[in-house]
Structure 1
Amino acid sequence: MGKYQADAEKLLELVGGKENIAAVTHCATRMRFVLNDPSKADEKSIEDISSVKGMFTNAGQFQVIIGNDVSTFYNDFTAVSGIEGVSKEQGKALAKQNQNMLQRVIAVLAEIFTPLLPAIIVGGLILGFRNLLEGVQIEALGQKIVDGVAMTNADGTPIYQTIVDVSQFWSGVNHFLWLPGEAIFHFLPVGITWSITRKMGTTQILGIVLGITLVSPQLLNAYAVNGTAAADIPFWDFGFAQVNMIGYQAQVIPAMLAAFTLVYLEKFFRPRIPEAVSMIFVPLFSLLPAIFFAHTILGPIGWKIGTGISYIVNAGLESPISWLFSAIFGAVYAPLVITGLHHTTLAIDSQLIADFGTTNLWPMIALSNIAQGAAVFAVLFLHRKDTKEKEISLPSGISSWLGVTEPAMFGINLKYVYPFVAAMIGSGIAGMFSNIMGVRANAIGVGGLPGILAINGNIGGGWFAFTIAMIIAIVVPFVLTIFFRQQGIFNKIDRVGAQVVTPDGAVVDAPEISSANTLPTESTTEELFATANGTVVAITEVSDPVFSQKMMGDGYAVRPTDNHVYSPVYGTVTSVFDTKHAIGILTPGGAEVLVHMGLDTVELKGAPFNVKVKAGDSVTPETEIAEMDLDAVTAAGKQTDILTVLTNAEKVANLEITGLGETTAGKVIGQAEMK
């Protein structure tokens, strides 16, 4: 009988039986199911299985978290079910059967815009800073005439000037920053066409070339079209027809239509053209028609669609019932993040800026970030004696205030529900106030508190009104979170008055007991060491949510600079994964440690790894347990983070990582106190 046979039999029954499983696979920590009918999975009963640490559904896959012994569990599961596994990519493909058309569109939009986010965020920061340099009014002090320049009006009232007016240095900085700031948004179509060809698996350089043809300097700039008489618009004259030479700077939909046309033309011609000449004729027959259609049909149509959407949104936010429109949008933006629909707002915001020069949508998005963070800080205040939750809530709240809300929502607010609702209400009120005051942003990408950099200080209430809106987004969710908890509103699992008995017989309110002190048993301290030369980062900075949200347990990661991987602890090797990318170690104090090399590297089937230990070996921080070919992992499109995770969280009283930053292999970077 296998180690997990009983649990595997239970899981098979609770996911709906063999006939409900379209595919099953696993990674380093999770069983990944594609279910024919996801509603048949009994999640409550699955949680009660002793070897199950949690579950969630993502991209059509039902994922059950097992831990670092998942490969053994998987073998027992396939034995009792008779189902052979599939690759992770095949699983993703099959998972599409559980997604409706809207979900598939959202998934495509997410995959298009996610690679562009770093550039969009940087561009927003740069334009926001330029906004301050050009918008902050400074009173010109001094005599009435200084070096021939008037410093006061004739009546003695002060003249106000901007920072760039009074400082040549900042004027030069402002002028220079136009280059990267405007480039990112003016040439956004190039990024979109590249990202689509990348996502669809076609030739990326053709996507880049197509994007360049949409923003070429030879074309009339899109921003100048409305101010140019029809007779003055340049055109290509083909004798029987003329085509306007108009650029599509900052336009999203024309670029998307053109890119998908290129992709499907390439996919059509590639299998039909002999391989000997495919390098010549596939690009030729794909790129030229895509460029032609982009400037004759797709571009004008896409422009009309994009403009129509932006005018509808803008009209709604400036209509007599704009207060209602903005309150609803401010409240529901956070749920949109859960569904992925928030990716559509990037396209709408970009179009609003292209059509109107500013957007009234982005300020409300920034306020939603702030509201979610405020709710997390309220939970942190309520649970201030819970040291383990503090390790999640503090970085999650800070991250949310800097514009990234997923850790806050999934790690804290959605778990308790009531802070999530409080944040929605606060965001709705703040968004309504912001829009009523006419606040608009010059750029997108900068969320949370830094979002004020993107606000146009000369339109509507400007920076002052947005500051008040930010205060609303902080105060209202914070107060409501406390109120909802005290009154038991939207609150099912964090009720005030719930009591427990401590080992010494005292009866106390459950929230007042520190998770590190509820079981005051004899403890052991384990030292933790760097697994490689490189940079130590908090586990919350890892891009895989299962690790960053500590579903597998707490720990840390090292971003290595060479191929050598060492043990993070003194202990005994308990398992080496078949795919060689993960190793389990048990310490003398009882810590179950998972060393996970790279993210999603299970797909590489062991190719970049040379494991130098086996189950039963004793290891120390001086033991090289594996080599990881960083170049091969990077070339495969994977991240090289080496994670150290303490998977038996119930036995960890306290974890402290003190060595963040540059490190060398074998250096002490923290300690874990075991119960």
Structure 2
Amino acid sequence: MSKNSDAKQLLELIGGKENIAAVTHCATRLRFVLQDPQQADVDKIGKLVSVKGTFTQAGQFQVIIGNDVLAFYNEFVKVAGVDGVSKEAAKSAAKHNMNVMQRLLANLAEIFSPLIPALVVGGLILGFRNVIGDIKLLEDGTKTIVEQSQFWAGVHSFLWLIGEAIFMFLPVGITWSISKKMGTTQILGIILGLTLVSPQLLNAYAVVGTPADKIPFWNFGFAKVQMIGYQAQVIPAILAGFLLAILEKNVRRVVPEYVSMIVVPFLALVPTVLVAHTVLGPIGWAIGKVISSVVYAGLTSSFGWLFAAIFGFTYAPLVITGLHHMTNAIDLQLMAQFGGTNLWPMIALSNIAQGSAVVGMIYLNRHNEEEKQVSIPAAVSCYLGVTEPAMFGINLKYIFPFLCAMTGSAFAAVISVGSGVMANSIGVGGLPGILSIKPQFMVIFFLAMVVAVVVPFLLTVALGKTRYSAKLQNTGGIPVK
């Protein structure tokens, strides 16, 4: 069936041109904002040859096409007679279909999404530094590679230049991202972030060990303000970033255009920096500390295994709702406060488990060449940290592999948390995630990874061969619902 034919059918099945408020695409999906999402015939759309799956997230009806999405998108807009829009415009239109909580989560996601490539690179760098600088691999396990080689010692030191820029100066990225999202002056956002991590300030990591009378301060005569930095802090940067954007927008409304270039930046930036260091910074620090302390206490308590089992089992469904975006902020706060995160390893294990369930489906469906064209690339991308093709293209389509993956993820999470596994940072959320794990926990995390691979695979194959055996296609294919 041609793309033209599928495009025509898709147009009909989503309710026609009149039901399309906006349409755009990303790397693998068409993203629709529909006037009435109920008009979309999800079951029939999922059966189109060109379609790998569908799901609704953040107010958008998303149709998974695959790597040739651009060609399909071009054909669709031609057939439908509609104009495509940017992803930002589609997101803005989609907010009309979202409740207050969904809008809040969408805004949080939009702040962190531009930062994820840097965070992943930072995680890989810290992971590589782990291997050469912290694991004693040489001379019968008594020396590290860095201790034996000046070249690798230089590499180890050089790579921290990048790691420091990513994690220590994270507030700069956050305040820039907020300015970009809010449509305000991005350079002001960058400058605000720099004022939170300036070398003039006492480094956030040194505050705890510094006596109160030794902390530097600005003396205004009638008041003193402590000169404390907010390196790697998330919530203070978010609060300051939104205050700057709100001030700039409101000041711009009342200031005459002919003096706005001078007046607006001054009246927006200076008060924001002052409020950030006197009010928002300390409040944000306290909020972040409470959140991270509660999560850390829960994961390290005698009931940590229960928390781990629940989180491991429910993380994949959280991805569907978009709630998983909040974990980025929690992970970064844990890293800042405890020097690592025990939450992120469970996320990596959940991703691995979803990929393993797809591998189980590949085995069950090994004679179905058409299905393998979808499932094999989905499994590979899932093991490399991109779960959408696996979850929405295979596991959710047939339900039982999704549940098998959730179960395997729960078992692996219990092993990880029960053994005190900590990651240095966020990394690639799949098999390469082991590089982000602290060296002393790599062996036990590898065991958890094995569980995340084996359990979902065996459960998927077992269910596919027993409970659903009567419904399997004669080719050995996927059970027919």
- TM, length-normalised to structure 1: 0.63
Instruction: Measure, in 1, the Cα distance between the counterparts of 2:377 and 2:49.
Output: 30
User: Partner letter of residue 485 of structure 1?
Assistant: G
Instruction: Look up the SS of the partner of 2:143 in the other structure.
Output: strand
Query: Among residues 278, 287, 293, which one is paired with 1:296 in the alignment?
Result: 278
> What residue in structure 1 maps to residue 94 of structure 2?
95
| Residue 399 of structure 1 pairs with residue 381 of structure 2 | yes
Map Cα deviations across residues 445-502 of structure 1 (whole Å, 9 max, x no partner): 23211111111123xxx111111111111110110010121233xxxxxx433476xx
Task: Give the Å deviation of 1:245.
Answer: 0.3
CA contact (8 A) 1:200 1:263 kept: yes
User: Partner letter of residue 470 of structure 2?
Assistant: G
Task: Give the Å deviation of 1:102.
Answer: 1.3
Instruction: Measure, in 2, the Cα distance between the counterparts of 1:10 and 1:381.
Output: 35
> What residue in structure 1 maps to residue 224 of structure 2?
242
User: How many residues get paired?
Assistant: 463
Instruction: Measure, in 1, the Cα distance between the counterparts of 2:166 and 2:11.
Output: 54
> What residue in structure 2 maps to residue 190 of structure 1?
172
Task: Give the Å deviation of 1:166.
Answer: 2.3
* Residues 324 and 234 of structure 1, relative CA distance in 2, 3 Å threshold: same
* Residues 272 and 499 of structure 1, relative CA distance in 2, 3 Å threshold: closer
Instruction: Measure, in 1, the Cα distance between the counterparts of 2:154 and 2:73.
Output: 55
Instruction: Measure, in 2, the Cα distance between the counterparts of 1:445 and 1:405.
Output: 14
CA contact (8 A) 1:125 1:446 kept: yes
CA contact (8 A) 1:374 1:397 kept: yes
| Residue 472 of structure 1 pairs with residue 447 of structure 2 | no
Unaligned runs of 5+ in 1: 79-84, 142-158, 489-494, 501-507, 514-675
Instruction: Look up the SS of the partner of 1:137 in the other structure.
Output: coil
Instruction: Measure, in 1, the Cα distance between the counterparts of 2:54 and 2:348.
Output: 30
| Residue 436 of structure 1 pairs with residue 409 of structure 2 | no
Instruction: Measure, in 1, the Cα distance between the counterparts of 2:110 and 2:60.
Output: 17
| Residue 306 of structure 1 pairs with residue 303 of structure 2 | no
| Residue 511 of structure 1 pairs with residue 477 of structure 2 | yes
CA contact (8 A) 1:375 1:477 kept: yes
Map Cα deviations across residues 639-661 of structure 1 (whole Å, 9 max, x no partner): xxxxxxxxxxxxxxxxxxxxxxx
Query: Among residues 309, 315, 321, which one is paired with 1:327 in the alignment?
Result: 309
Map Cα deviations across residues 255-297 of structure 1 (whole Å, 9 max, x no partner): 0000000000110011211111111111110011111111000
> What residue in structure 1 maps to residue 108 of structure 2?
109
Q: Alignment RMSD, CA only? A: 3.2
Instruction: Measure, in 2, the Cα distance between the counterparts of 1:472 and 1:26.
Output: 40
Instruction: Measure, in 2, the Cα distance between the counterparts of 1:296 and 1:226.
Output: 18
Q: Report matched runs for 1:133-532 at 5 Å.
A: 133-138=132-137, 140=139, 160-458=142-440, 462-488=441-467, 495-498=468-471, 508-509=474-475, 511=477
Q: Would you tell me which structure has more strand in proportion to its own residues?
A: 1
User: Partner letter of residue 35 of structure 1?
Assistant: Q
Q: Report matched runs for 1:540-555 at 5 Å.
A: none
Task: Give the Å deviation of 1:68.
Answer: 5.8
CA contact (8 A) 1:31 1:74 kept: no
Instruction: Measure, in 2, the Cα distance between the counterparts of 1:377 and 1:323.
Output: 27
Task: Give the Å deviation of 1:444.
Answer: 1.1
* Residues 407 and 86 of structure 1, relative CA distance in 2, 3 Å threshold: closer
> What residue in structure 1 maps to residue 131 of structure 2?
132
Task: Give the Å deviation of 1:377.
Answer: 1.2
> What residue in structure 2 maps to residue 121 of structure 1?
120
Instruction: Measure, in 2, the Cα distance between the counterparts of 1:239 and 1:113.
Output: 39
CA contact (8 A) 2:352 2:431 kept: yes
* Residues 43 and 412 of structure 1, relative CA distance in 2, 3 Å threshold: closer
Unaligned runs of 5+ in 2: 66-71
Instruction: Look up the SS of the partner of 1:57 in the other structure.
Output: strand
Instruction: Look up the SS of the partner of 1:300 in the other structure.
Output: helix
> What residue in structure 2 maps to residue 626 of structure 1?
none
Instruction: Measure, in 1, the Cα distance between the counterparts of 2:390 and 2:207.
Output: 43
User: Partner letter of residue 117 of structure 2?
Assistant: P
Task: Give the Å deviation of 1:46.
Answer: 7.3
- TM, length-normalised to structure 2: 0.87
Instruction: Measure, in 2, the Cα distance between the counterparts of 1:48 and 1:365.
Output: 31
CA contact (8 A) 2:407 2:456 kept: yes
Instruction: Measure, in 1, the Cα distance between the counterparts of 2:142 and 2:45.
Output: 67
Instruction: Measure, in 2, the Cα distance between the counterparts of 1:40 and 1:363.
Output: 40
* Residues 299 and 412 of structure 1, relative CA distance in 2, 3 Å threshold: same
CA contact (8 A) 1:53 1:67 kept: no
> What residue in structure 2 maps to residue 607 of structure 1?
none
> What residue in structure 2 maps to residue 647 of structure 1?
none
Task: Give the Å deviation of 1:409.
Answer: 1.0
CA contact (8 A) 2:59 2:98 kept: yes
Map Cα deviations across residues 153-204 of structure 1 (whole Å, 9 max, x no partner): xxxxxx8222222222222211111111122100000000111111111111
Instruction: Look up the SS of the partner of 1:236 in the other structure.
Output: strand
Task: Give the Å deviation of 1:69.
Answer: 5.4
Map Cα deviations across residues 575-622 of structure 1 (whole Å, 9 max, x no partner): xxxxxxxxxxxxxxxxxxxxxxxxxxxxxxxxxxxxxxxxxxxxxxxx
Map Cα deviations across residues 292-333 of structure 1 (whole Å, 9 max, x no partner): 111000000000001100000001001111110011111111
* Residues 92 and 319 of structure 1, relative CA distance in 2, 3 Å threshold: closer
> What residue in structure 2 maps to residue 24 of structure 1?
21
User: Partner letter of residue 21 of structure 2?
Assistant: V
CA contact (8 A) 1:24 1:31 kept: no
Instruction: Measure, in 2, the Cα distance between the counterparts of 1:49 and 1:429.
Output: 36
Instruction: Measure, in 1, the Cα distance between the counterparts of 2:137 and 2:73.
Output: 59
User: Partner letter of residue 463 of structure 1?
Assistant: M
* Residues 195 and 477 of structure 1, relative CA distance in 2, 3 Å threshold: same
Map Cα deviations across residues 233-257 of structure 1 (whole Å, 9 max, x no partner): 0000000000000000000000000
Instruction: Look up the SS of the partner of 1:217 in the other structure.
Output: coil
Q: Report matched runs for 1:44-59 at 5 Å.
A: 44=43, 56-59=55-58
Task: Give the Å deviation of 1:7.
Answer: 8.1
CA contact (8 A) 1:353 1:443 kept: yes
Instruction: Look up the SS of the partner of 2:469 in the other structure.
Output: coil
* Residues 163 and 328 of structure 1, relative CA distance in 2, 3 Å threshold: same
Instruction: Measure, in 1, the Cα distance between the counterparts of 2:52 and 2:451.
Output: 38
Map Cα deviations across residues 357-383 of structure 1 (whole Å, 9 max, x no partner): 111111111111111111111111111
Q: Please say which of residues 353-362 and 251-260 is displaced more in the overlay.
A: 353-362
CA contact (8 A) 1:236 1:245 kept: yes
> What residue in structure 1 maps to residue 68 of structure 2?
none
Instruction: Look up the SS of the partner of 2:317 in the other structure.
Output: helix
